[in-house]
Amino acid sequence: MTRSELIARLAAKNPALYHRDIERLVGTILDEIGAALEQGDRVELRGFGAFSVRQRKARVGRNPRTGASVQVAEKKVPFFKMGKGMRERLNR
């Protein structure tokens, strides 16, 4: 599902709300999750899951075209852990 599909579904389920208000709301939620992750915070949505940031160590990688070794610097990556409620819902 894309962002625009999410907005369209929310608009269909909530006809009393304006489409532009739903767009702003979805945008604000995603911006706040992103801002929290930038600060290194964990974002937990009970029953859905938790977003956090993990540190990946520096490593030696391979260039797939040439096969040459390449040094890959350490970096931070987003991580999502599915909540128990969502996991149970998917595995019914």
Q: Read off the pLDDT of residues 39-74 as tens digits, 9 standing for 90 and up.
A: 999 999 999 999 999 999 999 999 999 999 999 999
pLDDT of residue 46: 93
Measured distance CA(48)–CA(30) in Å, rounded: 15
- pLDDT tens-digit series, residues 8-37: 999 999 999 999 999 999 999 999 999 999
pTM: 0.79
pLDDT of residue 88: 93
Residues 6+ apart with CB under 8 A from 63: 69, 70
CA dihedral sign, ordered 5, 28, 43, 11: negative
Residue 45, strand partner residues: 49
First to last CA, the chain: 21
pLDDT of residue 1: 94
